[in-house]
Amino acid sequence: MSIGDASDRSGVKFMQVINDQLYAIKEASIWRIQLADEIDPERTNTRIPNVQQRVASCGTSSKVVSRTLIQAIELTKNRSWGLPVSVDGVLISALRAAQAGSLIDNNIVRLEEHASVTKKELSELTSMKNFALPSYPELDNLWASSLYAISAFRSAIRDLVVSIFPENEMGANWLSDLKRRVDFKPARFFDNEKAFSNIEHDMKLVREFRNIEQHPKANRYVNLSDYWMRQDGQIGAPCLHIVGLDKDEILTEISDFLGQMRDCLTFAYEMILLWSVSTAINPFLGQKPIIIHNENCEETPNCRYSLAIEFDGKTSVLG
């Protein structure tokens, strides 16, 4: 059975069961596979084919997918740890994060490609006589899908926490509650406490942005603009004018803003996953694992971290 279509001819890097569904993860896409036996367990119709559905247009070559879904697969594959968590819940949250990040990535690419073509066409104009500002087709739809992806990504982080700490208080202060549960051990290459503070700040901005966008006020609002004429006479790409976010007034290209949202959400998911899993397996191992950089990881070069323990002066990677 061949998996995928002409848009991604790479081989399958991972096959993973998530929530009783089989997924094939390739370099540039993720597919849900439904075998004929699942569709028709009694095999009453032998002509029923296997079915595959693309669920994400990014795969292992994507930093977002590698740092969410692949990182979760790697950290939960060793069931001998006796993880006192819902592994399936962790993987479901990771898949949702990867899908949301994939949607944001695709929208960024669409915006940047359209801007590149538009600038090229404008540079080839021989006369400005009938010039009119270009327009991005269905910009409102792209923006709506981006807002959905940002919310879905943030929700996936909350779902991750619930999977590992089901008793965690999931009110407005869920991130602070998580901080009290996680047992930090200093990493060799970054400051855990500082990283968590950065995540708290970024997640607060994400929440505030969504509140401003959904409940605008006179001094707190988001305006979406298509291509526009800058003061220097150049054409500006579609942008956002955000008032009231972190007490600032922001004018930024939509693609840049989406990239910032994607990066801060990806970092938050990745770090919370590492901290939470290492805390959960602490009782089983008898010591707190440390977070280390992956080395010589050819299959998933963007999957940046592993958990390890130190014994007899040596560092042993878990997994």
Cβ within 8 Å of residue 52, ≥6 positions away:
3, 4, 24, 31, 32, 33, 34
Residue 221 Cα to chain centre, angstroms = 25
Report how far residue 91's alpha carbon sits from residue 199's, in angstroms, rounded to the nearest whole number.
21
Degrees, nearest 5: CA angle 38-44-48: 55
The SS3 assignment for 56 reads strand
HSE value, Cβ hemisphere, 13 Å, CA-based, for 69: 33
User: Which letter, b or e, does each residue of 15-44 get, where b requires 16 or more Cβ atoms within 10 Å of its Cβ?
Assistant: ebebeeeebbbbbbbbbbbeebeeeeeeee
DSSP 138-184: THHHHHHHHHHHHHHHHHHHHHHHHHH-TTS--STTHHHHHHHH---
CB burial class (10 A; 0-12, 13-18, 19+) of residue 110?
middle
Amino acid at 257: F
Any long-range contacts for 221-226 (C-beta under 8 Å, 24+ apart)? 224/139, 224/140, 224/143, 224/254, 226/133, 226/135, 226/136, 226/139
Q: What is each CA distance from 185 to 3, 173, 197, 267, 287, in whole angstroms?
A: 42, 23, 15, 18, 10
Amino acid at 45: N
Residue 13 has which token pair?
């890097």
Report how far residue 222's alpha carbon sits from residue 212's, in angstroms, rounded to the nearest whole number.
7
Residue 289: predicted pLDDT: 78
Beta bridge partners of 241: 223, 251
Q: What is each CA distance from 211 to 156, 208, 216, 221, 257, in whole angstroms?
A: 18, 5, 8, 9, 16
Q: What is the pLDDT along the chain (319 residues), one digit of tens a residue?
A: 678 777 777 888 999 999 989 999 999 999 999 876 766 566 666 677 778 889 999 999 899 999 999 999 988 876 655 565 678 889 999 999 999 999 999 999 999 999 999 888 887 776 666 678 889 999 999 999 999 999 999 999 999 988 888 775 566 677 877 877 776 655 666 677 788 888 888 888 898 898 898 898 988 899 999 999 888 878 889 999 999 887 678 889 999 999 999 999 999 999 899 888 888 777 666 777 778 777 655 555 566 777 777 777 777 776 5
Residue 94: predicted pLDDT: 96
Extended beta strands in the chain, E state: 12-18, 21-26, 30-34, 51-56, 221-225, 228-229, 235-236, 239-245, 248-253, 290-293, 305-311, 314-317
Contact 182, 279 (CB under 8 A): yes
Report how far residue 43's alpha carbon sits from residue 45's, in angstroms, rounded to the nearest whole number.
5
Residue 20 Cα to chain centre, angstroms = 22
Cβ within 8 Å of residue 215, ≥6 positions away:
none
Residue 74: predicted pLDDT: 85
152: left (phi over 0), alpha (psi -120 to 50) or beta: alpha
Residue 168: predicted pLDDT: 59
State the CB neighbour count (10 A cutoff) for residue 220. 15
